[in-house]
Amino acid sequence: MSGFRLVAHGIGQVQDLPIPAWLFYTGAVAVLLVSFLLLGLLWRRPLLAGHELGRPLPAGLSQLFLGPVRIALQTISVVLFGIVLAAALLGDTDPFSNLAPTWVYVVFWLGLPALSVLLGNVWRALSPWRALADAFVALLELGGREAKPLAVYPERLGRYPAAATLLAFVALELVYADPSSPRSLAFAIGLYTYLTLFGMAAFGRDSWERHGEGFAVLFAFFARIGPFFVKDGRAGVRWPLTGLAGAERVPGSLAFVAVMLGSVLFDGYSRTTTWQDLAARVESPFIVDQPGLGELLVTLLSLGGLLVAIALVAGAYGAACAAARWTVNAPRSLVPEFVLSLVPIAFVYVVAHYFSLFVLQGQFAIPLLSDPLGRGWDLLGTADFVPDLSVISPTTTWYVQIGALVAGHVAGLAIAHDRAVSVFPSRRDATRSQIPMLGLMVLYTVGGLWVLSRG
């Protein structure tokens, strides 16, 4: 593939058609209607808060999943990690003959969010780094030595390290000129492995996964949307969204969520006519004589675009919280109170933008698993599988996009409202504080729709 980053989102061949105008307006009107409907149905006592502990699963089942099943998955995950790293390092340099790009950008990056929502925080069992660290600790303990972190994590740093690692990954995917190059990926994987194992050794496995490991923090956020959870070594089931009730006071949570939302927004915007033409205008004077300079300029432009998108998301949320605080004369900032209401919106952004990429490009993993290095092998007998790129029609994609965005909007509103009635003793304050939040959600949802509708 090329150095020109117009194939955004890391890897991919087919891009969605823009949502037609009539569907955009239908979606936007649906968002407004749903919003006012919800306003009319406001509940007075928190419905979500207090239910996040649901009920425990039967003890045997819980032990099965958290014990043998987890260890089996961790083993598989380390083996797969080895294969993907070997492919990135030694395999064919054509991204489409190499398992690593499709695996990292499609199977892992788009599959794990969906798995996390459906099955809970599966990254705990699927993270190869955690598995390696667990194995290391188990070996140490077998040898009679105790594994102790070297330092105590400075809590005031909160999730900023995770926001930084997530930003680094989305920049690799969306900004770097050749994201699907297997060798670049090998370098990135190596670097991140080093960082993660270092972080776990320094601050402890759980602490680093809560604060510094971007993927672990991301998938843990997504898992809180869904029904399955683990608390104190016991698996349980709860109503969806109840895991997002409550405030999130860990510093850096807003920065993290803004990276989640902003990166998807930028990815969408970078596929529009406007952005493509802008990038081409910046690069074209240098294409023939100084392609390196042209590429560098477009990379800088994209980095700027990504950072602006993240800043816009965070700024809009900050403004809405400030407006809500001013409306009800709240004594403290409301930023930590409502930040979790953005998590479902971030998830549906992923669904809306990447559903078709996952279904279409994901099929390429089937033949590539048989021939991960592009050497003509047929390990699993699937090397001849031919992906069907017409398996979903553009119309299906459009409906999935609209449906996902509207559903995420409803979920976000519900969580924010539930928080408001927990925080504010007076019903009037609770309602009034939600007017800016409603505006914010409409902005995010209609903005997301608008990006998808731009040709």
Partner 1 sequence: MIGVRQLMVILAVAALVGLAAGCGGDEAPPVADDTVTATTAPEPTTPETTESTPKPKPKPKPKPTTRQIVIVVDQGRPRGGIKRPTLEKGEEVVLIVRADVGDEVHIHGYERTKALTPGRPARIPLTATLAGRFEVELHHPDALLAVLEIRP
CB of 8 to partner 1, least distance (A): 10
Site string for partner 1, 279-318 (x = CB under 8 A): -x--xx--xx--x---------------------------
147 binds partner 1 (CB under 8 A): no
Contacting partner 1 (CB under 8 A), which of 3, 54, 56, 111? Answer: 3
278 binds partner 1 (CB under 8 A): no
Strands of the sheet containing 55-56, edge to edge, are 55-56, 234-237, 228-231
Name residues contacting partner 1, limited to 15-44 (CB under 8 A).
15-17
The alpha-helical segments, DSSP class H, found in 329-342 are 335-338
Neighbours of 35 (CB within 10 A): 18
Q: Quick one: which of 165, 174, 166, 170 has its CA closest to 298?
A: 174
Contacting partner 1 (CB under 8 A), which of 75, 93, 333, 393? Answer: 393
Q: Is the dihedral of CA 171, 256, 122, 116 positive or negative?
A: negative
93 binds partner 1 (CB under 8 A): no
Q: Which residues, in sequence order, are bridge partners of residue 382?
A: none
400 binds partner 1 (CB under 8 A): no
CB of 15 to partner 1, least distance (A): 4
Return the range that interacts with partner 1 (CB under 8 A); candidates 119-127, 275-283, 334-342, 406-414. 275-283
Contacting partner 1 (CB under 8 A), which of 94, 141, 155, 277? Answer: 277
390 binds partner 1 (CB under 8 A): yes
Instruction: Give the C-alpha separation, 164 to 170, whole Å.
Output: 10
94 binds partner 1 (CB under 8 A): no
For residue 429, what are the CA distances in angstroms to 332, 341, 378?
A: 14, 18, 64
CB of 400 to partner 1, least distance (A): 14
Instruction: Give the C-alpha separation, 163 to 277, whole Å.
Output: 30
Return the residue matching tokens 């205008």: 281
Instruction: Give the C-alpha separation, 102 to 9, whole Å.
Output: 11
Instruction: Give the C-alpha separation, 255 to 253, whole Å.
Output: 5
Residue 136 or residue 399: which is nearer to partner 1 going by CB? 399
Site string for partner 1, 333-362 (x = CB under 8 A): -----------------------x------
Which tokens in the block code for residue 349?
């952004």
Which tokens in the block code for residue 280?
């081409």
Interface ranges with partner 1 (CB under 8 A): 2-4, 6-7, 13-17, 271, 273, 276-277, 280, 283-284, 287-288, 291, 356, 389-390, 393-395, 455
